[in-house]
Amino acid sequence: MKSFVGDFYKLLDLLKAGKPFAFNRFSDGELYILQGKELILDAKQVKVGAKVTDGIYKPEDHKRFHPEEHAYYRDRLIDAFKFQKENYFNGLSCRCCVGDEHFQWQLDFHGSDDPNFTWANLLVNGNYPRFIREMYPIFNNYKTIFVCNENADLSSLPFLVKDFRVGYNAMINDYGLIQTMKNWIDENAITGHLFLFSASSFSKIAIHQLYEHCDKNTYIDVGTTLNPFMNMRLDRTYLKSFWLGAKGSDLNKTCIW
């Protein structure tokens, strides 16, 4: 039986022991892209397939995916989703967040019962206090690289030795950065380093390709968990609850499998 808390400590133990791994996570946005649905997220509209609602997203989260125009990048996302390797942990959108039908679709589309399946939300909701109090301090033990939005302020993260920046719709517009990072790893013989990613769908493709290219480093998709340290907005409920004391149930939520 999978455990939301137990899987968190599985990754934490690897991190403490200095054993390389990759934690990739496929949230609802990636789910819709994998399903081949048109996706638009911006300040004017949110479009998923034929469904359109009012826009709510800030510039750093703006995204546009068209199934025909961007088929190559969807294929790379599929590669990342279906990739299997020792200590490559694949975080899925769980049934309590996207519903039984979408959850089952992911399992069927992947086509195997990967023992390294885990939750896309593994570092947030009820595990977020554990992430901040127990995992975040361990980053200081590593030479750490951050892959994040061009507007992020990283001056409050003392453990960083390098950063790579992305902009709008990075999965498509900044795809070439992955090769740049591979070259940097090779040219500088980078091993034993920690790569953190907060770059939306770009993170998923990059983590897969970098771990496949060099599995001597650790690659973690931290999503929005470090926004308070980056002078980025706190508009996620779990962030508001933890940092601002706002009402909300996310910090008490244990996602189910």
Q: Where along the chain do its domains lie?
A: 4-33+74-252
- CA 107 to chain CA centroid, Å, is 19
pLDDT of residue 139: 98
Supply 83's token pair: 């990739």
Q: What is the pLDDT of residues 65-96, one digit of tens each?
A: 999 999 999 999 999 999 999 999 999 999 99
> CA 134 to CA 237: how far, in whole Å?
21
Question: Pairing state of beta strands 160-166 and 63-65?
Answer: unpaired
Q: Which residues of the chain have pLDDT under 70?
A: none
Q: Which residue has the tokens 């973690």?
A: 220
Q: Given this model, what pLDDT does residue 192 score?
A: 98
Q: CA–CA separation, 84 vs 257, rounded Å?
A: 20
pLDDT value for 210: 99
Going by the DSSP 8-state scheme, the letter that residue 112 receives in this structure is S
Q: Which residue bears the tokens 């947030």?
A: 124
CB environment 186-195: b (16+ within 10 A), e (fewer): eeeebeebbb
Any alpha helices (H) in the chain, and if so which ranges?
Answer: 4-17, 28-34, 71-82, 95-98, 100-110, 128-130, 170-173, 177-187, 200-213, 237-244
Question: What three-state secondary structure class fits 178?
Answer: helix
What does pTM read for this prediction? 0.95
CA distances in angstroms from 65 to 9, 36, 183, listed in the order given: 35, 9, 27
Residues with Cβ < 8 Å from 67, sequence gap 6 or more? 36, 37, 38, 74
Cβ(15)–Cβ(135) under 8 Å? yes
> What pLDDT shows up at residue 39?
93
Pairing status of strand 63-65 against strand 51-54: unpaired
**Whole-number pLDDT of residue 120:** 98
Count of CB atoms situated within 10 Å of the CB of 101:
8
Contact 147, 206 (CB under 8 A): yes
pLDDT of residue 62: 77
- State residue 12's pLDDT score: 98
**Helices 200-213 and 71-82 meet at what angle, rounded to 10?**
60
Inter-residue contact 222 to 247 (CB < 8 Å):
no
- Given a contact cutoff of 8 angstroms between Cβ atoms, the answer to whether 124 and 225 are in contact is yes
Type of residue numbered 83: F
H helix or E strand, kind and range, residue 25: strand 22-25
